[in-house]
Structure 1
Amino acid sequence: WKNREHALKNIQDQLDSNDVQIVLDLLKKNTMMSNLVFTFQQNINVAFEIKKAQEFNMLLKDFPINLLISANDFKSTHKALKDIFDHFKTLKSSNSYPIKRIYELLEAFSKDVSKRILKILEEFELMTMDNRQFEVIKEECFTILNDFDQNLKKLLEQFGARHPRRNERRAIPQKIDMEHNNIQNRMKEIANQRAENEKLLEIVSSVFSSQDDTEPRNREAIKDIKDAYTVFLSINVLDLSIDGNKKWNSAKKEYNIKIDRIEEEITNQMRDKLASAKSTNEMFRTFSKFNALFSRPRIRGAIQEYQTQILSSIKKDIKSFRERFLIKYNTSEVCRMYKVRNFPSLSGMLTWYNQLERKLNKYCKRLQDVLGSEWEKHVAGRQLKQQIDPISKHLTDIKEAQYNNWTKDMNDLKLFVDQDLQIFKIATKSDGSLKLEVNFSDKGLCLLREKNNLKALGHKLPYSLIMKTQEIQLCYSKYISLVDNLATFHQVSSKISPEMAILLAAKRKSIHSNLRSGDKVTWKDERNLESYCHKIASQVQDLEEAVHLVEKQLEKKNEFLSQISTCEYNSEAFKKKLDEIQSIADEFIFNDFSNIGKWVSNLNQEIEKILIQRAEETITEWVNEFENFGEVPKKLIIQTIYHEIKMRDQQIIIDPSVPEIRAFWYKQLNGIVSVICSQKQVESKKYDNRRSKKALTNEESQEMVTYKSALRGINKDLMLKANSIIEKAIKDASSYVSISGCQALWNVDFDLLYEKLEGNISKWNLILTGLHQLIKRNFDSSETI
């Protein structure tokens, strides 16, 4: 255009010269030549052409092509592209610029863009670089090329609109050769080739990873895939010439041949796995593992016989599912289980239907595993889909209908808060007895329980129900508190034994009184309801702690009573156990339990019975040991007494005397009884201090604090038996030591005896026989006292 302008100016200068002007003037004077001069001036129209050339030069002189030529990365290339298309807008406003030249300019621009992008791409190893980096480069490249296409499309539409006439449109080329499209196509091919190879390598690696890595065919299959891919590394993948396209297509063909051999190996392994499968589930796992390869015709054809086998199993499962589907939720086993677990009815129903849908989806997934991702286009898959779709639609319709009916029912719910209902009601049990229950709306509870479950199931409650749940929620915490505390109270009360009831009577009475006052409290009375619930909770908690404490202490008490029944029979052993029991009573007094005096009185009676039993057992054992002295081991009669027969002042005496013997044995017997009678009773000081001790005699005082009264409880026959054996022993001892008759032998006058008896042998024999019997009766005895 610059050369054209310069040439036109030279022509204009020549036309303006004197020589040419004289010639033209002469020709104009000639009538025959004047038309020729006029035609000549009209045809060349030099001034118009100069103006046109100057206008085009003004349009093209600032064309920013240098920005594109100097760009060295995608970012600067993209910016140059934007600036160039902005400059094209100025050409669009010029009606005089030839439309054909604009299209030629766009083709030249496309070539320059292609050269610049290829130069940038050649800096990268497109076939071996990391996938993430490749995706970044691909996206940047496609962004530039897509922007080019979009801007080009808009520009061409605008140029076409500028030349609406048919003859002007004829100047517009029918086809524009844009070289950048070749780059875009090649980049797509490279991306597809990389993805295909990567996917195949990943699938083969995952299949063989579960097998023995030392098996040669596993290593070779993975290695062969990598080797097949190397054919692309020996060519320039960005060579878009005819020769470059031939090399690219040849490399793809060679790659596919190698992959076919690998697929054949994989197919053989897959058939081996399917043939050795021991169950249908194992076959499904095999199909699922190789599923991605089903798009390849070789593998798909090789497993067709196994597909037929497994499809028959899926058909049976779907048939069984249809029979199960006919069972209604309310009669199902799942419904009964949910009721036992107190699961909300609507949520349970929707959950059940969701499980059925998941089962259907599982069958679809199995079909996809067996037939591939396009299983719906398969003949068998299409038939099964025709069976599955109606069931799936019916499930969806049922869920929607149930949910809509429930929401309508809940919308009709009148809030019990507005009805001023009492918080308690009296219910009748199955056995006819009455029971106190919290008076809360069942539908309100249902709404609250359904809320979170429905949200988890993907259902959004209507706004009206959300507002109702918020109002019910205000009282729900108090409802839960009352229900829990009532349940806790009943549970704790069931643990209270008659003995515990004595100590806990005041606390239970307080709770009963507070529960009776609940008939005046309503759900609407928020202030009183809050304090009432807090009071009930506090009292129940106090009772629960008290029951736990009493239960624990009574267990200890019973253990100590058991130890009293088995410990050694002595004052120290009994005192130690009774002190422990006294500490338990003190603990009850400290915690201000009720009826301590009555409980302690009952406890002392129980202890007294045990002590009496221990005393009777000990006395019985003592009597047995006394009667069989020397024949049984000594346990109770440790201390014995020895008597000496002495001659003092010509008198035969026994030391110690018989009265001393009686006192000794009665002291031992009384010692057994005094062990229990001397023990101090368990006291309830909180109550005893209120009594006037001045009115009590010493005997009453002593009997009040010790177990002296236990003496009256000991078996009288046993005591009489003990006394009788002592008296018998004393009597025997008295006979044994009664030697007063023998004392006369020391005082006899032998001369007088000789005189009276003289020589009568029979009289002497009679006297000697009497002495012999006396000695034998009094001295020849094995008893020792």
Structure 2
Amino acid sequence: MGDSLDGSGDSSSVAENVVIVDYSAFTTYLKKAVTILLPEEEDVIPPALNAALNDRTNQETIQKFLSDPQVSALFVQRSSFKVWLHFFHIRKRKQYREQVVCAEERFKELYQFQEDSVEWLADYVIGYETEKRDDDTDQAGEGDDEKDPVAYLISNEVHFSSPKMSSLVCIKRGAVVEADKSIHSQLRLINLSEGSPYETLHAFISKTMAPYFKSYVKESGRADRDGDKMAPSVEKKMAELEMGLLHLQQNIDIPEISLPVHQTVAAVIKRCAEEGRKPKVADLGDKVEDSTFLNQLQNGVNRWIKEIQKVTKLDRDPSSGTALQEISFWLNLERALHRIQEKRESMEVALTLDILKHGKRFHATVSFDTDTGLKQALGTVNDYNPLMKDFPINDLLSATELDRIRSAVQLIFSHLRKIRSTKYPIQRALRLVEAISRDLGSQLLKVLGTRRLMHIPFDEFEKVMAQCFEVFTTWDDEYDKLQGLLRDIVKKKRDEHLKMVWRISPAHKRLQTRMEHMRRFRRQHEQLRTVIVRVLRPTLLSAIAARQADQPAQQPDQQETADVKPDVLSLEAADANAIEEVNLAYENVKEVDCLDITREGLEAWDAAVRRYEDRIDRVETRITAHLRDQLGTAKNANEMFRIFSRFNALFVRPHIRGAIREYQTQLIQRVKDDIEALHEKFKVQYPQSKSFRMSVVRDLPPVSGSIIWAKQIDRQLTAYLRRVEDVLGKIHLIVLEVPGYSWQPVELNTTSVLSNYATEVDGKGWENHIEGQKLKADGTSFRLKLNTQEIFDEWARKVQQRNLGVTGRIFAIESQRSRTGRGNVLKLKVNFLPEIITLSKEVRNLKNLGFRVPLAIVNKAHQANQLYPFAISLIESVRTYERTLEKIEDKASIIPLVAGMRREVQMLVAEGIALVWESYKLDPYVQRLAEIVFSFQEKVEDLLVVEEQLDVDVRSLETCPYSANTFADILAKIQHAVDDLSLRQYSNLHIWVTRLDEEVEKNLAARLQAGVQAWTNALNGQKKEIDLSMDTDAPAQPTHKPGGDPQVTSLV
């Protein structure tokens, strides 16, 4: 291809139809990029860049980048000539030829330059300096303002050469740079600025890469997938990388010292090493007596002492910097001291000291061990580093969530307890805690910086705040524990100089105070906005509803336009304006950096809050008018109470509080009357109340019923006191209610809005109002009388004193006065006290009411519950048996018929007399007794019905019509009844039937005698009428004559 460069043939892997971008087009793009990202003068292409692009070596480098798929990066580095001047000057000096050759080789290896390129750059640099030196004579003043010239080096490998150099890296997105696509769409550009590479890379990771990755993970939803563990793992690795770069950036470099050895000593050691033996002082011969040589050695040792002291006397201020710097300092110092110790024990140093000892230069040898302070320094780091090793500061610095920060704080303070086994100074430990506090504040700002706390929804804001205050609470709790540990250490040391060391200044407390202000402000604003919406919005809806009720016949469209009159529309507009005014007032605060805790940030926050207050004052007038209108149109006190409860949250505002003052007196009097009525109700006491009778109906035991009754009165009292709160207003304290943390009131010297929006913490709530104080006192004393715990304790004491239990035999015989009053009779009773049944019910209800019933009582109730079904069954069986016997006694004629079944029940009762409650036979016995008693009852009931019917039938034989068919029907019914009784196997049936036959026979004989007499009278011609004149109970129609009414007909 015509546009390609000579080196394009190297890209054998590129498809034939791919056209490589033109070299001149790419260099034009590169010049623009370098001009923007590596600027020297604005909108001016540097001449040094043109010179570098004209170099053939650089052209070949660019060619490879464009066309070779194996080359993915193009590295353009800019550096000042001053970096290279010294290098190329010493190149011309013969005495440094060896060093220059090594430097040239390193330069060529690093930048991939050929020899001619190095020569060209050297000649260019030296020529430039000669020219500049000549120009300095003529332009001395202007030369001071002239910028240092630069050089551009181009390579295919990204590398670091000097902190004074800045670079541009071009990365291909594809295999080659194609001509038919825009160049910028095929490249990624990265600017590596001057300075520490750690700082540059940390900025890239923390400010760009990590937020970009987190945002993608959040938006794509990969973090919420349970099965996707890779994204959180990568996020953690990025945080660790960021933390590691920060560590490298903050490390304090410990100077690397060298202990140069005298040439003569070094030569002797080398010779002995070649001979394979240990060097001795004698190997130096007469040199050991040469004072000049000894002086040289002594001077060298003195230089060694100064070099070692550079490390042993090294220290840092723990009150500055970060906790990581303090930790890294001691760890690095330990390593440096161990390296010095190794050098101290080396053959060269030992031989030098032996020579000085042999020459009686004892001062030099002794001072070497004492003046260096190496042993003391090693002892110090060995004492300190058990605390510094494995210090979990990384968990805090790499935390990306508030929960992880809280866990990291716990780990850090847990690790700090190791101080008890070290000699780490208490003062320094407290400064370390302050440094950790600074790191905590920085990490919180880093995590919260992307949340936009004043913009997020209120619910989400509350969750974030709760997590933050959990972190603060954890810090305070853990620091209290650590402080106690440090105090114990000080007491053991008995150091009087450490009395005032406990006053530290945690840096994160300023952030904590600001977050308290933010949380308080948003809660207040949310409360104000919610109340305004709740109060103002229903007005328009109620107006429309009222007009729709007046004109139901109109069409919907017509009705809406006709009913909403201008006054209603203006009302809607005013309401909307009030709500919009609150929202606009909040906009003043939203745009402020709420986490900026500098002086400028504090001033900006205060100014925003004042602007917010100014706009909120306009809304108060609207709310005051609404409140007065609604109170003026209220029909009764209850409606006023409802209105007060709606506006209650705003009563701390002075204007609104003034609007309701005139209505308070009458409503407070209403509450007083209600509380007095409640007093009267309580004076009646529970046993004489209607609630007691209702509790009996609902099977509530007396103690539980009295507690429920007292709680009902207490709830009513609470409701009445809440009405007082509605009328007088409730102060929503600014103190934050965080679980496990107790805040002290924070005085805000700049947020005057809070003085109007909420009173001081010790300000006047309804309990401190004149009327409220009296009602509060009355309510408190009344509530003491309603203390249900005393009722429960008294019941528990009585139950435990009584020996209530279910033991012994299941039946008992009691002597009772007979109902006829003649002596006593023995009654069968179930040995199960009613108090035990009541106890079981009491325990069940008291548990439901939330009382902790003593275990002994619970055990008794549990035993009663187990036997309760059997006891109830036995009680019902005995009661049923007694009632059935009473029915039999009233009908003595049937006693023979049920005598057999009665005997069965008596035998079963006799069997149960010996049973006890603990017997395993109790369950089957109770079932058998219930079945037999129930069968006995059924048969007695059936027998009573049959007996009653038979009595009617037998008596009907006396008054029924005197005819054979009638007598036959009645006798058939009697016979059918007797047959049924026979089938049911009643006992002594034949005796009972004999008595029945006698009664039937007697009635039939009487009717027969009356019939004979009637026929006799009829044959004699006599007619006997029934005299009803004296019979007041005679029926309207005469009954049948006992002998019938025979008629004699004459045939002649």
Scaled by the length of structure 2, what TM-score is found?
0.45
Report 1:298-447 matches (<5 A): 298-329=655-686, 332=689, 334=691, 344-373=701-730, 374-396=765-787, 400=790, 403-404=793-794, 407-408=797-798, 411-413=801-803, 417=807, 422-428=811-817, 432=821, 436=827, 438=829, 440=831, 441=833, 443-447=835-839
2:528 corresponds in structure 1 to 200
**SS of structure 1 residue aligned to 2:814:** strand
- Asked if 1:718 corresponds to 2:979, the answer is no
Report percent identity of matched pairs.
Answer: 26
Cα distance in 2 for partners of 1:146, 1:153 equals 11
**Counterpart-to-counterpart distance in 1, 2:654 and 2:532:** 17
Q: Per-residue deviation at 1:389?
A: 3.2
Decide which moves more: 601-610 or 492-501.
601-610
Q: After TM superposition, list the pairs within 5 Å mapping 1:83-482 onto structure 2.
A: 103=431, 114-144=441-471, 178=507, 180-207=508-535, 213=541, 216=572, 222-329=579-686, 332=689, 334=691, 344-373=701-730, 374-396=765-787, 400=790, 403-404=793-794, 407-408=797-798, 411-413=801-803, 417=807, 422-428=811-817, 432=821, 436=827, 438=829, 440=831, 441=833, 443-466=835-858, 468-469=860-861, 476-482=868-874
1:144–1:399 Cα change, 3 Å: closer
Alpha-carbon separation, structure 2, partners of 1:351 and 1:274: 36
**1: CA distance, partners of 2:422 / 2:913:** 94
**Deviations 1:364-401, CA, capped at 9 Å, x for gaps:** 333333334443222222222333333433443x9637
Report the CA distance between 1:538 and its aligned residue: 1.5
Q: TM-score, normalised by structure 1?
A: 0.57
Cα gap change, 1:442 to 1:253, in 2 (>3 Å): same
Moved more, 237-246 or 77-86: 77-86
- For the pair 1:543 / 2:936, whether they are aligned, the reply is yes
Which residue is 1:53 aligned to?
Answer: 314
Alpha-carbon distance in structure 1 between the residues aligned to 2:595 and 2:1045:
124
Give secondary structure in 2 for the equivalent of 1:427. strand
Residues 500 and 551 in structure 1, CA contact (< 8 A), matched pair in contact too: no
Distance 1:128 1:579, change over 3 A: farther
The residue that corresponds to 2:749 in the other structure is none
* 2: CA distance, partners of 1:575 / 1:465: 71
Distance 1:501 1:543 in 2: 13
Task: Compare relative contact order (CA 8 Å, sep 6+) and give the higher one, 1 or 2.
Answer: 1
User: 2:541 aligns to what SS in structure 1?
Assistant: coil
Equivalent residue number for residue 186 of structure 2: none
Residue 127 of structure 1: CA displacement?
2.6
Q: Alpha-carbon deviation of 1:535?
A: 3.8
Deviation of residue 485 (structure 1)?
1.9
Aligned amino acid, residue 376 of structure 1: E
- Which amino acid is the alignment partner of residue 479 of structure 1? A
Q: CA deviation at 1:545?
A: 4.0
> How far apart, CA to CA, are the structure 1 residues paired with 2:859 and 2:476?
55
Cα distance between partner residues in 2 of 1:84 and 1:414: 59
Name the CA shift for 1:602/1:318 in 2 (closer, same or farther; >3 Å): same
Q: CA deviation at 1:306?
A: 2.3
How far apart in 2 are the matches of 1:359 and 1:532? 51
Structure 2 equivalent of residue 699 of structure 1: none
Give the superposition deviation at 1:145: 5.4
Q: Looking at CA atoms only, which structure, 1 or 2, has the larger radius of gyration?
A: 1
Asked if 2 retains the 8 angstrom alpha-carbon contact of 1:2 and 1:53, the reply is: no
Which of these residues, 462, 484, 487, is aligned with residue 879 of structure 2? 487
Taking a change above 3 Å as real, the CA distance of residues 124 and 541 of structure 1, as seen in their structure-2 partners, is same
Distance 1:228 1:599 in 2: 106
- Partners of 1:525 and 1:76 lie apart in 2 by 60
Taking the aligned partners of 2:329 and 2:522, their CA distance within structure 1 comes to 48
Counterpart CA distance in 1 for 2:685 and 2:677 is 15
Instruction: Measure, in 1, the Cα distance between the counterparts of 2:661 and 2:978.
Output: 88
Q: For residues 234-290 of structure 1, what are the alpha-carbon distances to aligned partners after superposition, in whole Å with 9 as ceiling and x for unaligned?
A: 443334444443443333233333433434433433344444444433333333343
Question: Quick one: structure 1 residues 714 and 360, their matched pair in 2 at CA, closer, same or farther if it must change by over 3 Å?
Answer: closer
1:509 to 902, 907, 910: 902
Structure 2 counterpart SS, 1:129: coil
Conservation of the 8 A alpha-carbon contact between 2:830 and 2:875: no
C-alpha change, 1:523 and 1:146, in structure 2 (3 Å) is: closer
The whole-number CA distance in structure 1 between the counterparts of 2:577 and 2:900 is 84
* Aligned twin of 1:645: none
Higher helix share: 1
**Kept after mapping to 1: 8 A contact 2:714/2:786:** yes
Q: Distance in 2 between matches of 1:423 and 1:490?
A: 15
Q: 1:503 to 1:388 in 2, by over 3 A?
A: same
Alignment of 1:475-624 (within 5 A): 476-489=868-881, 501=894, 505-506=898-899, 509-510=902-903, 513-514=906-907, 517=910, 520-521=913-914, 526=919, 533-546=926-939, 588-594=981-987
Match of 1:425, SS?
A: strand
Query: Structure 2 unaligned runs (5+)?
Result: 1-249, 264-290, 317-325, 333-388, 544-571, 731-764, 955-962, 1008-1039
2:935 is aligned with what amino acid?
A: D
Q: Please give the secondary structure, in 2, of the residue aligned with 1:127.
A: coil
- 1:13-64 C-alpha deviation (Å, 9 max, x unpaired): 8999xxxxxxxx99xx9xxxxxxxx9xx99x976534422399985264999
Closer, same or farther in 2 for the Cα pair 1:572/1:456, shift >3 Å?
same
